Amino acid sequence: MEKILVVGYGIAGLCIARQLEKRQVDYHVIDNGFKNASSKVAAGMWNPIGFKRLTKSWKVDELLPYAQSFYSEFDEALSEKITYRHDLIRFFSSIEEENTWHEKLDDPRFKTYISSEKNAHIENLKPHLNPPYNYGKVHHAGRVDIPNLLSLSKDRLIEKGSISQGLFNYSDLICQDGFWLYGGNQYTGVIFCEGHQVLKNPYFKYLPIRPNKGEVFVLRIPGLDLNCVINRGFFILPLGNDLFKIGATFNSRDHSYEPTQSGLNWLKQKMESLVNLPYELVAHQSGIRPTTPDRKPMAGRHSEHLNLFLFNGLGAKGIYLAPKLSEYLIRYIFDKEVLPSEIDISRYEKWDSPNL
């Protein structure tokens, strides 16, 4: 009988566990409870548009509908509202961006995702906003309440006896007769979902995972009656009860786990450039995203240990990437289906990075 060990329980580990559950494959999760994992502090938003070059997000037509359906299943399974769908308002940062936006409106590939419609709610809020330019609307955006999802789903696994809390000790993982032994149990395979902590993993530390620190803060802003997400090089996400999450920074040089004054200053400057209401700082958090040189996730099998696998490198867009890509990996393991070359870790087998 198959039994899989899943190491890590951020959004990657959760999606892998869910895929195994759907296939009725027995599994056990080891979670170290790392509080600065990106999943613990992320806003959990999905957005079909990349604003830097005004492009569609990678494989969004395929991956986003699957992700929306995947997360919606948790609303029922956990008897809790986890997923939220909403429009996103993009305030243009320049006249050039506004012109590019209007050019894209004539492109049929973007037709279902963007528009130039006015938003009555935003129009009413204009006395409290300082946008220097106009805005466009992004459709089919949304978010997942990741902290709540991870907490509730972990409680469910605890009830089933399918998760253990604690540091994973690689030296205790022993290969014997084609199986892996760990903690007195025998597994047919191990899937590592460790985020940036994979750099400590002796089996996969050669992979070029690049830690990228992100900081967010939660503000109380009375009077900002916002019912959608705003983006202008940063986001403002309404949480309810006058609370808003603001973010996020990107820092590939600072790998410390604590929030920084420079991050706080950047977030304050960005927020105050758009909103002219008084606010109260409620929380300041940081997390470490696992990113890759080509900005594509990593999934696949170890080149020598054929029943060791990895799912990682989800980066800032992991919330819409993880569900379908986790299915790809599970089908690769159990059905021998070929992984898409863009995500297969074999692309890095000869990687040589002196910085890791």
Query: Which CATH number is 119's domain given?
Result: 3.30.9.10
* Domain-located, residue 336: yes
Q: How far apart are the first and last CA of the chain?
A: 38
What pLDDT score was predicted for residue 351?
A: 54
Please check whether residues 277 and 191 belong to one and the same domain.
no
* Domain-located, residue 136: yes
Please check whether residues 191 and 284 belong to one and the same domain.
no
pLDDT digit string, tens, across residues 105-123: 999 999 999 999 998 889 9
Asked if the model's pLDDT at residue 101 lies above 70, the reply is: yes
Asked if the model's pLDDT at residue 195 lies above 70, the reply is: yes
- Binned at pLDDT 50, 70 and 90, residue 72 comes out as very high
Q: Are the CB atoms for 161 and 85 separated by under 8 Å?
A: no
What type of residue sits at position 38? Answer: S
Q: Are the CB atoms for 293 and 210 separated by under 8 Å?
A: yes
Three-point CA angle 340, 30, 82, nearest 5°: 70
Query: What is the reported pTM?
Result: 0.94
Mean pLDDT across the stretch 214-238?
93
Asked if the model's pLDDT at residue 240 lies above 80, the reply is: yes
Asked if the model's pLDDT at residue 96 lies above 90, the reply is: yes
Domains identified in the chain, total number? 2
Domain boundary among 247, 272, 291: 291
Asked if the model's pLDDT at residue 355 lies above 80, the reply is: no
To the nearest whole percent, how much of the chain has pLDDT over 70? Answer: 97
To the nearest whole percent, how much of the chain has pLDDT over 90? Answer: 85
Please check whether residues 134 and 243 belong to one and the same domain.
yes
Please check whether residues 173 and 303 belong to one and the same domain.
yes
Phi, psi of 99 (to 5 degrees): -65, -40
Give the helix/strand (H/E) hosting 109. Answer: none
Please check whether residues 192 and 219 belong to one and the same domain.
no
Please check whether residues 231 and 285 belong to one and the same domain.
yes
Q: How far apart are CA 74 and CA 63, in angstroms?
A: 18
What pLDDT score was predicted for residue 87?
A: 86
* Domain-located, residue 99: yes
Domain boundary among 291, 308, 327: 291
- Binned at pLDDT 50, 70 and 90, residue 185 comes out as very high
Q: How far apart are CA 221 and CA 355, in angstroms?
A: 42
Please check whether residues 135 and 240 belong to one and the same domain.
yes
Q: How far is CA 78 from CA 64, 148, 153, 158, 335, in A?
A: 21, 10, 7, 14, 29
* Domain-located, residue 123: yes
Phi, psi of 117 (to 5 degrees): -60, 145
Asked if the model's pLDDT at residue 186 lies above 70, the reply is: yes
Asked if the model's pLDDT at residue 43 lies above 90, the reply is: no
* Domain-located, residue 114: yes
* Domain-located, residue 340: yes
Q: How far apart are CA 160 and CA 153, in angstroms?
A: 11
Asked if the model's pLDDT at residue 166 lies above 50, the reply is: yes
Three-point CA angle 259, 251, 206, nearest 5°: 110
CATH classification of the domain holding 11: 3.50.50.60
Identify each DSSP E strand in the chain by its residue range. 3-7, 26-31, 45-46, 49-50, 55-56, 83-91, 114-115, 135-144, 163-165, 174-176, 179-182, 185-187, 189-192, 210-220, 229-231, 235-240, 243-247, 280-291, 298-301, 308-312
Asked if the model's pLDDT at residue 1 lies above 90, the reply is: no
Question: Judging by DSSP bridges, how do beta strands 189-192 and 163-165 pair with one another?
Answer: unpaired
Domain boundary among 270, 291, 312: 291
Q: How far apart are CA 214 and CA 255, in angstroms?
A: 10
What pLDDT score was predicted for residue 269?
A: 96
What pLDDT score was predicted for residue 356?
A: 34
146-160 vs 60-77: helix crossing angle, rounded to 10: 60
Domain that holds residue 159: 3-41+147-208+293-348
* Domain-located, residue 156: yes
Asked if the model's pLDDT at residue 144 lies above 90, the reply is: yes
Please check whether residues 175 and 229 belong to one and the same domain.
no
Q: What is the mean pLDDT of the chain?
A: 93
| CB atoms inside a 10 Å sphere around CB 251 | 20
Nearest one of 92, 53, 47, 81 to 67, comparing CA atoms: 47
What pLDDT score was predicted for residue 52?
A: 87
What pLDDT score was predicted for residue 120?
A: 86
What pLDDT score was predicted for residue 321?
A: 97
- DSSP 8-state class, residue 316: G
Please check whether residues 198 and 257 belong to one and the same domain.
no
Cα-only R_g, the chain: 21
Please check whether residues 135 and 220 belong to one and the same domain.
yes
Please check whether residues 281 and 164 belong to one and the same domain.
no
What pLDDT score was predicted for residue 63?
A: 97
Please check whether residues 136 and 220 belong to one and the same domain.
yes
Q: How far apart are CA 301 and CA 310, in angstroms?
A: 7
* Domain-located, residue 75: no
* Residue showing tokens 């243009």: 92
What pLDDT score was predicted for residue 353?
A: 44
Strand partners, 280: 220
- Binned at pLDDT 50, 70 and 90, residue 131 comes out as confident
pLDDT digit string, tens, across residues 303-338: 999 899 999 999 989 999 999 999 999 999 999 999
Phi, psi of 50 (to 5 degrees): -95, 120
